[in-house]
Chains A and B, each alone.
Chain A
Amino acid sequence: QQQVKQSPQSLIVQKGGISIINCAYENTAFDYFPWYQQFPGKGPALLIAIRPDVSEKKEGRFTISFNKSAKQFSLHIMDSQPGDSATYFCAASNAGKSTFGDGTTLTVKP
């Protein structure tokens, strides 16, 4: 049973555009929702994270929107750059244990 569903699987955006990746979860016990960025041949690295008592968190060009009632959260990348081209994973955590989405491969065209 997949507890975190991520979409789309791949995304192509023009430089300067907005990239949007969506995730949905089922288990209401999750209490921490991080997003990770992964470049080829490297491990994932934390990009931004949110707690369920907050509806939005912004760090630079990256924003998480969180809808607790719908059990959905999304990552918005504003002014997307070619250097943002990577795979993005959402995750949902409880007591330190995380469940990951299947990942979204983002390509930003110059």
Chain B
Amino acid sequence: DGGITQSPKYLFRKEGQNVTLSCEQNLNHDAMYWYRQDPGQGLRLIYYSQIVNDFQKGDIAEGYSVSREKKESFPLTVTSAQKNPTAFYLCASSYSGNRRQPQHFGDGTRLSIL
């Protein structure tokens, strides 16, 4: 089955610690995205990548970093500079370019502060 796998499902961060959230897709999509979801708010874009070895900041990139070394993988690091990291993080992928296509989402990682 094709899809997006996010791991872990739950993650706890200590003060001053960096943590990395994993996202893998086997849909052969070029574009991948990271969103943050807080209660009562929509999905806010953190980073996106349209192609391997290239990525752009979204609306709330401060305190986060990403890499895109492989087409299938787009890990997100929540750094100690992100002072309010508690949220539900969603990874998505889609065909890139001007095609009118939906995004496909993983089932998220819930990050909490210890």
Listed in ascending order, the chain A residues whose CB lies under 8 Å from chain B are: 4, 6, 9, 31-32, 34, 36, 41-46, 49, 51, 89, 93, 95-98, 100-103
Contacts and interface: CB of A to CB of B under 8 A. Distances in A.
**What is the predominant secondary structure among interface residues of chain B facing chain A?**
loop
Nearest to B108: A43
Contacts, number: 59
Given A4-B42, A43-B92, 12 more contacts: A6-B42, A32-B101, A34-B103, A42-B107, A45-B105, A46-B103, A89-B42, A89-B43, A96-B98, A98-B45, A98-B103, A100-B43
Contact of A46 (B41, B50, B102, B106): B102
B96 interface: yes
A95 B42 contact: no
Interface in B76-114: 90, 92, 94-108
Nearest 3 Cβ contacts at the A-B interface: A43-B105, A32-B100, A100-B42
A24 B32 CA distance: 26
A32 B98 CA distance: 10
Interface of B: 4, 6, 31, 40-43, 45, 48, 50, 90, 92, 94-108
Contacts of A31: 100
A44 B105 contact: yes
